[in-house]
Amino acid sequence: MDKYICMVCGYIYNPEEGDSDGGIPPDTPFEELPDDWTCPICGAGKDQFEKKEN
């Protein structure tokens, strides 16, 4: 699964880990995150994330 990086603060969303603080279970692809999910570090919306190149 692809990782996504927050263009505001550099946080990397790793689908294998999910976002336990945000209630997102492991193995949740970025595309399946709720529309109102925000970066757990800076609060940026999903539209501020870009696919991380390997």
* Residue ranges at the known binding site for Fe cation: 6, 9, 39, 42
How far apart, in Å, are the Cα atoms of 51 and each of 16, 29, 40?
15, 12, 17
Q: Which residue, among 18, 11, 22, has the nearest Cα to 50 in the 3D structure?
A: 11
Written as six digits, the tokens of 18 are 């999910």
* Residue ranges at the known binding site: 6, 9, 39, 42
